[in-house]
A and B are shown apart, each in its own frame.
Chain A
Amino acid sequence: MKTIKILGTGCPKCKAMETTVREVIQENNINAEVIKVDDIMAIMEYNVLSTPVLVIDEAIKIKGRVPSKSEVEELLK
């Protein structure tokens, strides 16, 4: 099972990323756990400068922008 983290302090872009990721998981029946991290201290442990950030199994995949569904699908394969 994959662990997906979405780092973001609750801005519209972060919510858009969470929605996209959850949709992709549901549509493709991917076995993954989605965790929304909105605590800034926890976010800063990843040493990122822009949000939202998509973390898959503790590796930073996308930062500072909302990915498309196909992009997320590709990353979760």
Chain B
Amino acid sequence: MFDWLQNIADWLVYDTIGLSSEEHLAQALNFFIYDAIKIILLLFIIIFLMGIINSYFPVEKVRNYLSRKKLYGLEYLMASLFGVVTPFCSCSSVPLFIGFVKGGIPLGVTFSFLITSPLVNEVAIALFFGMFGLKITIIYIISGVILGTFSGLLLEKLKLERFLTPWVQNVIKNAERESEEFKQGNETFKQRLPVIWKEAMNIIKGILPYVVVGIAIGGLMHGYIPEGFFEQYMGKENWFAVPAATILAVPMYSNASGILPVVEVLVAKGIPLGTAIAFMMGVVGLSFPEAMLLKKVMTWKLIGIFFGIVTLCIILSGYIFNLIF
């Protein structure tokens, strides 16, 4: 799919600049140009598409749907699926959480949404697509949805309401299911476009510096580290690699997804895909700043249980991926 891009990178580095393809520097530069263009292009396309979906399917509509409909156990899966198409900003996690439980949506279902939304976000999808191709991206999205569904179910079973801060418990007591259908604004596509475009640009502007630095580091490693280098340290037979990668990744802020092009190189140099995916999920799915925000609605104990269960599920998916691939 991206052959033409590789041709451009080859032409630039080997023909125009005139470096030899044997040189480390040339390989690093070639990788940087190829990856940078490819990933930035994908970020544009996917963030823009998600923006369009979100404009017609805002989070208010999601809440209204989950609150009004009886879904007989499917609500966890639905919440998780909605999480995929809703862009996530960690600063909205608290109003989102309160808004959901206020609408009578069960705590576990709210968690399902809250887990999948950052885990499978537009930036992660674009980066994953650029790094590992379509097939693995789809597998990543599906496992993210399953992970959110399953963790939400588990968290619901634990009856965690008592670990919410008192005022939130009060909100739940007075929760009301929505009675009215969500009324959609009826702007035309043309009217929506400038807003969608501007939002997409804002997201890209925020993430771009991190991504470029990540690709640059990835490029250097690509040029200088021999193939299969990590196999001896972090191969599949090393059981400790998956939990170590996950626990390392969890405190990182999701803007750190810029470092993910580095992960692509790590995989090329011998780190198993499952270990890399666990790392990726840890980076985008959970973060320390998010925990600080959730402190306003949850006790530390609940945040601990929430993060603990999601971390365990991520580690589990890492092992499963390593088994399959």
Cross-chain contact B195 with A65 (CB below 8 angstroms): yes
Q: From A9, A41, A47, A49, name the one whose CB has the most chain B CB atoms within 10 angstroms.
A: A49
Residue of chain A at shortest CB distance from B99: A49
Residue of chain B at shortest CB distance from A62: B195
Given contacts A9-B293, A49-B63, A50-B59, contact A44 B95 (CB under 8 A): yes
CA gap between A50 and B91 in the complex, in Å: 8
Chain A residues lying within 8 Å of B202, measured Cβ to Cβ, are 65-66
Cross-chain contact B92 with A64 (CB below 8 angstroms): yes
Cross-chain contact A49 with B95 (CB below 8 angstroms): yes
A40 CB, min distance to chain B CBs, angstroms: 5
B296: Cβ under 8 A from any A Cβ: yes
B98: Cβ under 8 A from any A Cβ: yes
**Which of B90, B91, B99, B171 is the one whose CB lies under 8 Å from A8?**
B91
B127 CB, min distance to chain A CBs, angstroms: 21
Residue of chain B at shortest CB distance from A7: B95
CA gap between A56 and B297 in the complex, in Å: 27
Given contacts A9-B293, A68-B198, contact A51 B91 (CB under 8 A): yes
Chain B residues lying within 8 Å of A50, measured Cβ to Cβ, are 59, 89, 92, 95-96
Cross-chain contact A48 with B99 (CB below 8 angstroms): yes
Chain B residues lying within 8 Å of A49, measured Cβ to Cβ, are 59-60, 63, 92, 95-96, 99-100
A13: Cβ under 8 A from any B Cβ: yes
CA gap between A9 and B297 in the complex, in Å: 13
Chain A residues lying within 8 Å of B94, measured Cβ to Cβ, are 9, 40
B181 CB, min distance to chain A CBs, angstroms: 16
A11: Cβ under 8 A from any B Cβ: yes
A14: Cβ under 8 A from any B Cβ: yes
B222: Cβ under 8 A from any A Cβ: no
B199: Cβ under 8 A from any A Cβ: yes
B272 CB, min distance to chain A CBs, angstroms: 36
Contacts from A to B (Cβ < 8 Å): 8-14, 40-41, 43-44, 47-52, 64-66, 68
The 21 listed contacts between A and B (C-beta, < 8 Å) are A9-B95, A9-B293, A9-B296, A11-B90, A11-B91, A12-B91, A14-B91, A40-B95, A40-B296, A43-B95, A44-B95, A44-B102, A48-B95, A48-B99, A49-B100, A50-B59, A50-B89, A50-B96, A64-B59, A65-B195, A65-B198
